[in-house]
Amino acid sequence: MRALYGTDYDVEDEITVTAGATQAIFTAIAAFVRAGDEVVVLEPVYDSYVPAIETLGGRAVFASLRFPDYRPDWDQVRSLLGPRTRMIIINSPHNPTGSLLRGDDLDRLAELTRGSDIVVLADEVYEHIVFDGRQHASVAAHGELAARSIVVSSFGKTYHITGWKVGYVLAARELMAEFRKVHQFNVFTVNAPCQYGIAEYMQDASRHLGLARFYQAKREFFREQLAASRFELLPCHGTYFQLARYAAISDLPDGEFACWLTREAGVAAIPVSVFRHDGADDRVVRFCFAKRFCFAKQEATLAAAGERLRRL
Ligand SMILES: Cc1ncc(COP(=O)(O)O)c(C=O)c1O
């Protein structure tokens, strides 16, 4: 964290290893959100946040990332804040859209939350998967926001070990003390053998610092495969997800199109409407160009998908 973002988190009091980002997110919400509290999320939204908020008695309040570049509208976020707002959840690089928050987005968020006791939950699990020379704008590097934020990351994403379920959170001492009141009783500690293994593996920083180049090559390859297809590819600035519009191929709603694509072309995609509470449909699907369970997808697999998708 110091090398990347210039931020010192105290090893004893400000860093907690978690059973993956999923537990970190649930625990953070449990630590701060009480019945009737509101949590602002930005749609399309990664699918674990809203069930966690609702299970804990909170109410999700939905802002929109604007189609087609999926940028936040901070004026809209501002209009949704009120006395019950307890938390804002952000995610960058963003699943499912591959969009990034920029430094000026963090400045706006800092301004919106200034003087309040709103906690920011920053899901940064794809922090090392950012393309085209762009920089990940970490909340951890933003002095003002870092003080009110829980930053979540995942070794599952960084080291292709999804099933190991090991991640971590970073937060200022006072926030971390609250986080740990819940972590203590829903996890206690994360399995030690995996922690030792990861601790040793991460000594070689080139393994995570080389990730962007590795995934960018996959993105390029997949995009080249689809260049001659009738899919319209949206920009992908980070993550391993590629969004595509399919209006030239079909006028089906995205869920039906994804089923059709799986059955007829043998290529699975996720309809983006499932990441929205009201199912609003931009007729866009999400392809994953890099991961198959814990393994990176082979070029041959991407080429076979490309060949099938070009026929549509
Ligand atoms: C945005 C985002 N947050 C959190 C997670 C969960 O990460 P983990 O596997 O470490 O629980 C994922 C996994 O897909 C994700 O895409």
When pLDDT is averaged across residues 7-23 and rounded to a whole number, the result is: 96
Most informative mutation of 17, 125, 293 for ligand 1 (most atoms within 8 A of CB): 125
Q: Separation of 164 CA from ligand 1 center, angstroms?
A: 12
Whether the predicted pLDDT of 293 surpasses 70: no
Confidence of residue 93 (pLDDT cuts 50, 70, 90): very high
Q: Say if ligand 1 is within 6 A of residue 270 CB.
A: no
The structural domains of the chain, with segments of one domain joined by +, span: 2-201, 211-310
Q: How many Å lie between the centroid of ligand 1 and the Cα of residue 310?
A: 30
pLDDT in tens, 29-57: 999 999 999 999 999 999 999 999 999 99
Q: Is 18 in the pocket of ligand 1 (CB under 6 A)?
A: no
pLDDT digits 0-9 by tens, 183-233: 999 999 999 999 999 999 999 999 888 889 999 999 999 999 999 999 999
Domain over 211-310 is classified CATH 3.30.70.100: no
Atom of ligand 1 nearest to the CA of 162: 9
Model pLDDT, residue 292: 59
Rounded distance from Cα 209 to ligand 1 centre (Å): 19
SS3 sequence, the chain? Answer: CHHHHCCCCCCCCCEEEECHHHHHHHHHHHHHCCCCCEEEEEECCCCCHHHHHHHCCCEEEEEEEECCCCEECHHHHHHHCCCCEEEEEEECCCCCCCCCCCHHHHHHHHHHHCCCCCEEEEECCCCCCECCCCCCCCHHHCHHHHCCEEEEEEHHHHCCCHHHCCEEEEECHHHHHHHHHHHHHHCCCCCHHHHHHHHHHCCCCHHHHCHHHHHHHHHHHHHHHHHCCCCEECCCCECCEEEEECCCCCCCCHHHHHHHHHHHHCCCCEEHHHHCCCCCCCCEEEEECCEECCEECCHHHHHHHHHHHHCC
pLDDT value of residue 207? 87
* Cβ of 91 less than 6 Å from ligand 1: yes
Asked if residue 95 has its Cβ within 6 Å of ligand 1, the reply is yes
Domain 2-201 has CATH 3.10.20.740: no
